[in-house]
């Protein structure tokens, strides 16, 4: 998920950002400074759980936290817009793609360190991997996250949760990277959390690592609890089709999925996107869906719920990038 983005059309050197030759030169320049991968005009549908999204001008998968710092400084120094993604599991990237530099933490910044009951995870560490790791150490408190296909960084920014719990309950410290290239540690008292929200969304910082405080527990009991939660998830969610998790936040006592089902939108399609027949708060890619298909479906669902219940559903997903140009 995006942690930070700067906007506005600028230039690098003497050519517009859209000049592929300049992007190739920029990529070669960046490759000399980092250990991670650098790709030009890379389709982001290959990096999102919805399997939707146009190209990034530049895509970087940093190998180290220093790579991350270099990428942010590089974007700032060259006047290039920056977007940071986790695992792409809670975002809709538009069909025109994302301009500038996209940094994807998943696949690179995945380090996890366990010291007693304190666990430090880099921003790109996947939540299911983190859960499996702490289980081996007999630590409890993260079982709810076993089925969330996101990264630690994205989870903290969005205060991800399930089964009535959220990651804010275990967060002790967050290391962020400021726009000036400095790493800063924020304690629990420096942060505020709410339903699918954290104060990190309101500041131009990028999450680098998270320290969590867990509790000792019985390994077999923790394992059994995770197994039960995953089995419930398999029954309730459309895991056989690409999706981005819950599309709408729950507006109150009545869940968004319940409202959507009540207005007859379950199974509704637009293009190759469909409101899941398994869980109405999921939109699935039936194969070849575009971001435009998903947006049309979101608006149709919103309008039906608004007309029937007078409730305006808010999206939980983040929309990034730009649509395809329709002009001549």
**Same-domain pairing of 189 and 91:** no
Number of compact structural domains in the chain: 3
Residue 301 domain-assigned (yes or no): yes
Among this protein's residues, is 196 annotated catalytic? yes
**Same-domain pairing of 57 and 160:** no
Q: Is the pLDDT of residue 200 over 80?
A: yes
Which of 76, 104, 132 terminates a domain? The answer is: 104
Domain harbouring 168, CATH code: 3.30.465.10
What is the DSSP code (8-state) at residue 27? H
Rounded Cα–Cα distance for residues 17 and 175 (Å)? 31
Nearest C-alpha neighbor of 124 from the set 37, 11, 245: 37
Which of 205, 235, 265 terminates a domain? The answer is: 235
**Same-domain pairing of 193 and 209:** yes
Rounded Cα–Cα distance for residues 159 and 232 (Å)? 22
**Same-domain pairing of 124 and 210:** yes
Rounded Cα–Cα distance for residues 37 and 105 (Å)? 11
Q: DSSP string covering 66-107, please?
A: HHHHHHHHHHHHTT--EEEESSSSSEEE-TT-EEEEEEE-TT
Q: How many CB atoms lie within 10 A of CB 192?
A: 13
Residue 41 domain-assigned (yes or no): yes
Q: Give, in degrees to the nearest 5, the angle at Cα 211 between 206 and 212.
A: 125
| Catalytic residue (choose from 89, 166, 168, 246) | 246
**3 state DSSP class of 245:** coil
Residue 313 domain-assigned (yes or no): yes
| Catalytic residue (choose from 196, 270, 302, 304) | 196
**Same-domain pairing of 227 and 119:** yes
Among this protein's residues, is 122 annotated catalytic? no
Cβ-in-10-Å burial (0-12, 13-18, 19+) of 290 comes to buried
Which of 104, 126, 152 terminates a domain? The answer is: 104
The domain of 56 spans: 11-104
- pLDDT tens digits, one per residue of 203-233: 999 999 999 999 999 999 999 999 999 999 9
Rounded Cα–Cα distance for residues 272 and 285 (Å)? 6
**Same-domain pairing of 39 and 60:** yes
- pLDDT tens digits, one per residue of 96-137: 999 999 999 999 999 999 999 999 999 999 999 999 999 999
Global pTM? 0.89
């Amino acid at each position: 998920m995006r942690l930070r983005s700067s906007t506005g059309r600028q230039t690098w050197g003497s050519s517009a950002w859209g000049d592929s030759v300049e992007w190739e030169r920029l990529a070669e320049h960046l490759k000399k400074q980092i250990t991670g991968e650098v790709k030009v005009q890379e389709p982001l549908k290959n990096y999102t759980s919805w399997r939707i999204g146009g190209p990034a001008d530049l895509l970087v998968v940093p190998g180290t936290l220093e790579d991350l710092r270099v990428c942010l400084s590089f974007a700032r120094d060259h006047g290039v817009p920056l977007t940071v993604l986790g695992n792409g599991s809670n975002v809709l990237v538009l069909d025109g793609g994302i301009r500038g530099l996209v940094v994807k933490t998943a696949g690179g910044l995945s380090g996890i360190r366990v010291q007693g009951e304190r666990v430090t995870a880099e921003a790109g560490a996947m939540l299911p991997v983190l859960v499996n790791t702490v289980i081996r150490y007999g630590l409890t408190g993260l079982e709810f996250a076993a089925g969330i296909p996101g990264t630690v960084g994205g989870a903290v920014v969005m205060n991800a949760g399930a089964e009535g719990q959220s990651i804010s309950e275990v967060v002790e410290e967050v290391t962020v990277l400021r726009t000036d290239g400095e790493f800063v540690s924020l304690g629990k008292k420096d942060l505020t959390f709410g339903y699918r929200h954290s104060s990190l969304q309101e500041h131009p910082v990028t999450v680098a690592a998270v320290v969590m405080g867990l509790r000792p527990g019985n390994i077999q009991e923790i394992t059994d609890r995770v197994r039960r939660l995953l089995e419930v998830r398999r029954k309730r969610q459309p895991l056989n089709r690409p999706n981005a998790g819950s599309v709408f936040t729950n507006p109150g006592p009545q869940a968004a999925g319940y409202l959507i089902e009540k207005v007859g939108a379950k199974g509704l399609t637009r293009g190759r996107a469909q409101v899941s027949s398994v869980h109405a708060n999921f939109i699935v890619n039936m194969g070849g869906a575009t971001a435009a298909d998903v947006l049309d479906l979101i608006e149709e669902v919103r309008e039906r719920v608004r007309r029937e219940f007078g409730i305006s559903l808010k999206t939980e997903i983040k929309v990034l990038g730009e649509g395809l140009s329709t002009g001549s």
